[in-house]
Structure 1
Amino acid sequence: MRDIVYPPVVGLAKTAFKVLDLKFQMSGTEHIPRSGGAVIALNHISYVDFVIGGFGAQPSKRLVRFMAKEVLFRNRYSGPLMRGMHHIPVDRGAGAGSYREAIRYLGEGEIVGVFPEATISRSFELKEFKSGAVRMAAEAGVPVIPMILWGTQRMLTKDHPKDFSRHQRVSITVGEPMSVSQEDDAVKATEALRTTMAGMLDRTIRAYHEQPAGAWWLPASYGGGAPTPAEAERLDAEELRARAAKRKK
């Protein structure tokens, strides 16, 4: 796949990381293959997860093609970049086309990035997973590689002001590739993926340089001030109702 836009964008991102003096704690990046197709499954806690998740594949010199909301491809600013980097638009009303495109990319040896939670987790813990990542990996005959991001929520996430102050810390944890096949039960395989990523998230949080009691960016189960998963689910439902009402108007 010919890349004209992606390499310069990576260069700009790396420059921004240096200007911000971001402190990265990265582990397991050797699990990302230097060639061949793979699905990277990431947790979703921030609007910058695409950028940071893609950076996690840089030690293997790979470019990740993320599946992202179709609206980003229609935006006058982000659209040309998303298309130029060969990301995959996802129309939730007609997801079959996006799924087939991802399968094609995997067959061509590309790495496809997927957020199984579909939306940002307000609790910063894992939401329920959709099975698409496992199903496409099984159909394409490629591994699923779990990746956990932490610290990105402190920069830009839902319900909180952005904070791109310098010297922030970000953790990227990559797990061992998981093999799946079309003979596997997709629901059970997805549950296994979520269990694996939950353990990785726990270890990543506990290894993070700080866990201040009551901090808004720390999960409630770790003594933080983030909404509990139940509270986050309620807030998500309220957001969906507000969007629906806005569309009616």
Structure 2
Amino acid sequence: MADRPNFVGRLWYDTVFWSSFTAFTFGFSIRRRGWKNMPRTGPVLVLANHQSMFDPVLVGLSSRRYLSYLARHTLFEQRGLAPMIRSLNAIPIDRNAGKDGIQAVLNALGQGQAVLMFPEGERTHDGNVHPLKPGVSLLIKRAGCPIVPVGIAGAFDAWSRFMTVPRPAPLFLPPAPGTLAISVGEPINPARYEGMKREAMLDDLHKSLAAQHAEAERVRRK
């Protein structure tokens, strides 16, 4: 699906967006910051820290354009789930495919899409931003498009990998640990990383994500 889906695709995406926005606003007191930093057009690589299964939806709620998501290729084999994730711009990717996975992202970017990735590779075990997987450095060098860092806060407390069901933080009740916030940073020009060694690039990207995570924590309703 291209950056701007057809009418049916837009209608479905918008329906999911607004229903999710309502649910997270009243159920988790969500706050958003910096959503205007997302470029309106052209290829964009969106990088976010990974706290919970909520994260793809949370980043989508903080974007003023349609996003494409990476999803494990095995999810596309599930009869009930596959049509839904396809309809929401999901891109199948095999974590063991190496360069094939990178090419799938490059193909989407080549179509002018905004692609969301979680470069830590898995959900955090403690709520902190952890080192990034090295593959993202190769992707950035080959993509040559703006990079938008996004920080998520509260999702670990709301629904960590160790929790069976989410823990809500309703809007009209006193603040609770599961309140959510997302901070979208300013786009990073890929020229910033030209000639930079992989370790230095990963460290710089990690600092950008950590800074947005800290900002999200600052604006969170606690």
TM-score clears 0.5: yes
Give the corresponding residue for 1:214.
Answer: none
* Pair 1:188 & 2:192 matched: no
2:100 aligns to what SS in structure 1?
Answer: helix
Give the corresponding residue for 1:106.
Answer: 109
- In 1, distance between residues paired with 2:92 and 2:199? 24
* TM-score, length basis structure 1: 0.75
- In 1, distance between residues paired with 2:104 and 2:141? 15
Tell me if the contact between 2:13 and 2:87 (Cα under 8 Å) persists in the aligned partners: no
Report deviation, 1:51.
Answer: 0.8
Give the corresponding residue for 2:175.
Answer: none
* TM-score, length basis structure 2: 0.83
Q: How many residues align?
A: 207
Give the corresponding residue for 2:93.
Answer: 90
Aligned partner letter, 2:187: P
Tell me if the contact between 2:153 and 2:181 (Cα under 8 Å) persists in the aligned partners: yes
1:103-145 CA-to-partner distances (Å, cap 9, x unmatched) read 1111221101010111000101011101333432331220111
1:66 aligns to what SS in structure 2?
Answer: strand
Aligned partner letter, 1:49: D
Runs of 4+ aligned structure 1 residues displaced above 6 Å come to none
- In 1, distance between residues paired with 2:106 and 2:40? 19
Determine which structure has greater relative contact order: mean sequence separation of CA pairs < 8 Å that are 6+ residues apart, divided by chain length.
2
Report deviation, 1:176.
Answer: 1.4
Report deviation, 1:19.
Answer: 4.5
Unpaired runs of at least 5, structure 1: 211-249
TM-align CA RMSD: 2.1
Q: Tell which structure's C-alpha radius of gyration is larger.
A: 1
- In 2, distance between residues paired with 1:54 and 1:134? 23
Which stretch shifts more, 38-47 or 9-18?
9-18
Tell me if the contact between 1:133 and 1:144 (Cα under 8 Å) persists in the aligned partners: no
Which one of the candidate residues 124, 130, 135 is aligned to 2:133?
130
Percent identity over paired residues = 22
1:185-219 CA-to-partner distances (Å, cap 9, x unmatched) read 23311210101221222232244222xxxxxxxxx
* Pair 1:18 & 2:30 matched: no
Report deviation, 1:48.
Answer: 1.2
2:105 aligns to what SS in structure 1?
Answer: helix
